[in-house]
């Protein structure tokens, strides 16, 4: 399968520097400076062709051959763009570490200990270490599928990161108020628009930034979700349009936007958000406001993420509809009923108890 050129940019004090590689992981064939992304002209194409001709195919008995094959497989092509970006970086690390290692080594169960040692050696960045194991597991699974290996030594390795369990972490009303104040103070109205839409719809980041006005109806939001689950792409649905959401959408329609821009959310210049820029804008305002979640039992502080807005939406849904079941909420959010039960216990049940106690006290006074 034909490899495609890989173009990356780097910001320097002098400006933006562009590098063109013959392919991802291949040799550099061009370097230029300036804001304009370089185009593959005749000269660059000639250099790419020369590099491709000079490139020797990897030894088919090494892990590098499996990596190259996977990068050009239908399984890789079906991954979401954001997953390709994250996994691609991890795959580069794996290639650097074990690219020239014979496949036979990975068919030896004793190799699992070396994989665990690699994970432990990156424990200072636990999330990156876990992603590395996840990608290695997927890579070796593909090799097993094609009969190149008989075992997957990356299977069954536990994760290091302990911050991923965030079921009880949500944006509270006070957090949102502080975020609004910081956003207006720093001129980040577009970030505020995005966070408010997130807490009122429960949509994931990719679905928020790609939501089109054509997907907003008078009664519901119906969007084909970006995230693929169990090899199927589902519709991300917001089945109710309450007064607050209707008012927000009406206000978002007044935002200035570039010609032909049909996304509901736009940045300060009227252009669609990219997922990464959107996340960074939310984090920037959050840090300006000094917003953190404090665990009531341990006192541990954790920064709130955009993704935690989904918990806020679920909490509001349960408060508005007390009879809705954990399973119904779980089905809507794509969560487990156990996670929903934890949010209900922390925010909904406790709130109900406080209200009931206040009523009893008022009756006693």
> Quick check: helix, strand or coil at residue 8?
strand
Residue 56: predicted pLDDT: 61
Half-sphere exposure of 319 (CA within 13 A, CB side): 15
Which is more confidently placed, 237 or 337?
337
Q: Could you say which of 127, 142, 162 is where a domain stops? A: 162
Q: Look at residue 250 and tell me if it is in a domain.
A: yes
Looking up tokens 């590689």 gives 21
User: Mean pLDDT: which of 40-49, 54-63, 173-182, 341-350 is highest?
Assistant: 173-182
Q: Look at residue 357 and tell me if it is in a domain.
A: no
Q: Number of structural domains, the chain?
A: 3
Residue 194 sits in the same domain as residue 299: yes
Torsion of CA 172, 176, 179, 183, to 10 degrees: 160
CA distance 31 to 35: 13
Q: Look at residue 270 and tell me if it is in a domain.
A: yes
Residue 97 sits in the same domain as residue 29: no
Residue 183 sits in the same domain as residue 296: yes
Residue 200 sits in the same domain as residue 267: yes
| Residue 220 predicted with pLDDT over 50 | yes
The token pair at 66 is 């499996």
Helices (H), the chain: 42-54, 63-71, 74-77, 81-98, 103-106, 111-120, 126-145, 173-186, 189-201, 205-210, 243-252, 275-289, 309-320, 326-333, 337-343, 350-364
Instruction: Tell me what the pLDDT averaged over the chain comes to.
Output: 85
Which is more confidently placed, 24 or 163?
24
Instruction: Provide CB contacts within 8 A for 16, sequence distance 6+.
Output: 9, 10, 33, 34, 35
Q: Could you say which of 134, 162, 190 is where a domain stops? A: 162
Q: Minimal CA–CA distance to 249: which of 280, 285, 215, 274?
A: 215
Residue 230: predicted pLDDT: 45
Residue 177 sits in the same domain as residue 283: yes
Residue 186 sits in the same domain as residue 299: yes
CATH number at residue 180: 1.10.443.10
Which pTM value belongs to this model? 0.60
The confidence band for 208, taking pLDDT boundaries of 50, 70 and 90, is very high
Q: Look at residue 321 and tell me if it is in a domain.
A: no
Rg over CA atoms, the chain = 25
User: Please, are residues 161 and 123 in contact by the beta-carbon 8 Å criterion?
Assistant: no
Residue 353: predicted pLDDT: 44
Residue 31 sits in the same domain as residue 71: no
Domain of residue 47 covers 1-55
Residue 151 sits in the same domain as residue 198: no
Residue 298: predicted pLDDT: 66
Q: Could you say which of 55, 75, 91 is where a domain stops? A: 55
Least confident segment among 59-73, 120-134, 331-345:
331-345
Residue 184 sits in the same domain as residue 68: no
Q: Look at residue 48 and tell me if it is in a domain.
A: yes
- What percentage of residues in the chain have a pLDDT greater than 70? 84
Q: Look at residue 333 and tell me if it is in a domain.
A: no
- Tens of pLDDT, residue by residue over 86-138, are 899 999 999 999 999 999 999 999 999 999 999 999 988 888 999 999 999 99
Looking up tokens 């992981």 gives 25
Q: What DSSP element (H or E) covers 7?
A: strand 6-12
Residue 91 sits in the same domain as residue 51: no
User: Please, are residues 72 and 58 in contact by the beta-carbon 8 Å criterion?
Assistant: no
- Tens of pLDDT, residue by residue over 23-47, are 888 889 999 999 899 999 999 999 9
CA distance 215 to 303: 32
Q: Look at residue 299 and tell me if it is in a domain.
A: yes
CATH number at residue 150: 1.10.150.130
Residue 140 sits in the same domain as residue 185: no
Q: Look at residue 361 and tell me if it is in a domain.
A: no
Residue 221 sits in the same domain as residue 182: yes
């Amino acid at each position: 399968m034909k490899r495609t050129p890989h173009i990356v940019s780097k910001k320097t004090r002098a400006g933006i520097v562009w590098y063109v590689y013959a392919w991802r992981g291949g040799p550099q064939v061009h370097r230029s400076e300036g804001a304009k992304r370089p185009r593959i002209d005749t000269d660059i194409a000639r250099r790419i062709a020369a590099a491709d001709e000079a490139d020797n195919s990897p030894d088919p008995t090494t892990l590098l051959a499996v990596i190259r094959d996977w990068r050009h497989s239908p399984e890789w092509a079906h991954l979401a763009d954001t997953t390709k970006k994250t996994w691609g970086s991890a795959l580069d690390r794996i290639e650097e570490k074990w690219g020239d290692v014979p496949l036979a080594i990975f068919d030896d169960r004793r190799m699992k200990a070396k994989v665990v040692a690699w994970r432990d050696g990156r424990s200072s960045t636990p999330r990156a270490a876990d992603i590395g194991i996840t990608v290695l597991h997927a890579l070796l699974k593909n090799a097993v599928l094609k009969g190149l290996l008989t075992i997957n030594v990356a299977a069954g390795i536990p994760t290091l990161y302990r911050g991923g369990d965030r079921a009880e972490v949500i944006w509270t009303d006070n957090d949102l108020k502080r975020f609004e104040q910081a956003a207006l103070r720093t001129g980040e109205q577009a970030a505020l628009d995005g966070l408010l839409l997130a807490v009122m719809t429960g949509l994931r980041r990719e679905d928020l930034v790609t939501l089109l006005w054509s997907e907003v109806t008078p009664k519901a939001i119906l969007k084909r979700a970006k995230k693929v689950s169990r090899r199927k792409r589902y519709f991300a649905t917001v089945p109710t349009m309450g007064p607050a959401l209707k008012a927000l959408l009406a206000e978002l329609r007044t935002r200035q936007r570039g010609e032909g821009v049909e996304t509901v959310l736009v940045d300060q210049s009227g252009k669609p958000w990219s997922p990464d820029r959107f996340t960074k804008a939310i984090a920037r305002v959050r840090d300006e406001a000094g917003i953190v979640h404090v665990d009531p039992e341990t006192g541990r502080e954790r920064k709130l993420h955009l993704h935690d807005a989904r918990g806020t939406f679920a909490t509001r849904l349960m408060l508005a509809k007390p009879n809705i079941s954990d399973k119904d909420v779980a089905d809507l959010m794509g969560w487990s009923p156990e996670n929903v039960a934890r949010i209900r216990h922390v925010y909904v049940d406790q709130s109900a108890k406080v209200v009931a106690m206040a009523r009893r006290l008022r009756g006693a006074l």
